[in-house]
Amino acid sequence: MVDRLTKMVHLAPCTSSCIPEQTARLFFDNVVRLHSVPKNVISDRGGQFTSKFWEALCELVGMGVHLSTAYHPQSAGQTKHTNRTLGDMLRKFAGRTPSVWDTFLTSAELTLNNAVNRSTGQSPFFLNYGFHPALPVWRELEINIPVAKIFAKSFLSRMTDAKACLDAAQQRTTDYYNKSKRDVTFSVGQMVLLSTKNLCSLADGSQKLLPRWIGPYSVVRMVGNVAVELSLPSDMNIHPTFHISLIRPYRGIAPVTNDTDAPTVMEPGPETWIAGKQKVYDVERILDYWVRRVGRQRRKRKVHEYLVKWTGYPSEHNSWEPTRNFSPEVKPLLEEARLRATQTQ
């Protein structure tokens, strides 16, 4: 949990099966208890935060709810960045004892909050409390309680390791982000294509034939500098705002002219995408049919496949497809191809 202003971090161990009520308890125990109820909270679209319980709870306590941009975790980027950094830190100095990883969270949290943040120029601890924390310093004293010495030395060792791991993780994250960062803007009404990288869950059966880009769709507006709102069909039940990394301009087919320097076809038209039915490519005709046996010797099963000529694509794109890849309206064509193949045998 990260404060947007001061970048202060609070870490709480939990499991992947954490339900909305348990999530709320962790939030109140680690944030509200120390800082009171925040005005609003930005979260991803996990089930805990899209649930009716979380929505009702936030309304009752007067806390605004803001969900991240669809398929773009950077909308809640501070938390995502902290999770990556924390993961790098724990792998380094808790990797040898993974079963007790939660015991390292105290050292990790103190190290994160005492590190100077590049955005603010100060440490989160200093911005919250107005002074720097008094860190434990090892002193060689004649103490006749060995367990106390072991505990103190262990904690100091963890703090030192955590600081080194944090510096290394921050540098790797910075290098990785700068390598792929790009500044792009789109104008209102511009036609663009949408990446299907995160839309595979809408497909039925095999995802092999899913197009990499679908559209074109019209740009409604720019949301800040890194997100675009699109005008999507009503049957695509997804959030219409996407990060610019998932958008590219639609070039289409250039007009035919007598100018020898005129542009030519840049790419074929976009494929059809229908939510629910998922008709990805249009079938021009079925060329052939055969039955293939797959599986082990004693457990072989029959797979009925059809050779397809796709609309708008040359013959080198013809491919054999199993029955499950076809939508119901293509079934008459499949029956005709199957009948033709049977008659020629």
Sign of CA dihedral 85, 86, 91, 94: positive
Q: How many domains does the chain have?
A: 3
Q: Give the model's pLDDT for residue 10.
A: 93
Q: Is the pLDDT of residue 79 over 60?
A: yes
In which domain, by residue range, is 272 found?
A: 182-280
Cα 210–chain centre separation:
19
Check whether residue 85 and residue 134 sit in a common domain.
yes
Which of 280, 310, 335 terminates a domain? The answer is: 280
Answer yes or no: is 74 within a domain. Answer: yes
| Residue 14 maps to a domain | no
> Which pLDDT score is estimated for 254?
41
Looking at the structure, tell me whether residues 54 and 110 fall in a common domain.
yes
Element (H, E) at 85: helix 77-93
Answer yes or no: is 248 within a domain: yes
Is the same domain home to 46 and 158? Answer: yes
100 and 41 within one domain: yes
Q: What interhelical angle do 20-27 and 52-61 show, nearest 10?
A: 30
Whether the full predicted model's pTM is greater than 0.85, yes or no, is no
Q: What is the mean pLDDT of residues 233-242?
A: 81
pLDDT, residue 30, reads: 92
pLDDT digits (tens, 9 = 90+) for 287-308: 888 887 776 666 777 888 888 8
**Tens of pLDDT, residues 98-115:** 788 888 888 888 888 888
Give the CATH number, domain containing residue 201.
2.30.30.140
Report the percent of the chain where pLDDT is more than 90.
Answer: 9
The pLDDT score that the predictor gives to residue 32 is: 92
Q: Higher confidence at residue 316 or residue 326?
A: 326
pLDDT, tens only, 245-271: 888 888 754 444 444 443 333 344 444
Q: Are residues 245 and 300 in the same domain?
A: no
User: Which of 73, 102, 74, 78 has its CA nearest to residue 90?
Assistant: 102
Do residue 241 and residue 337 come from a single domain?
Answer: no
Q: Is the pLDDT of residue 227 over 80?
A: yes
CA distance 337 to 324: 16
Residue 12 within a domain: no
pLDDT on residue 278? 46
Phi, psi of 22 (to 5 degrees): -70, -35
Query: Using CA atoms, how far apart are residues 320 and 305, in angstroms rounded to an integer?
Result: 6
Judge if 123 and 188 occupy the same domain: no
Could you tell me if residue 207 is inside a domain?
yes
CA pair distance 338, 173, nearest whole angstrom: 55
Give the model confidence (pLDDT) of 159-205 as tens digits. 677 677 666 666 666 666 555 555 678 889 888 888 877 776 555 55
Residues 24 and 55 in one domain: yes
The CATH code of the domain that includes 143 is 3.30.420.10
**Could you read off the pLDDT of 22-64 as tens digits, one per residue?**
999 999 999 999 999 999 898 887 888 888 999 899 999 999 9
Looking at residue 257, its pLDDT comes to: 42
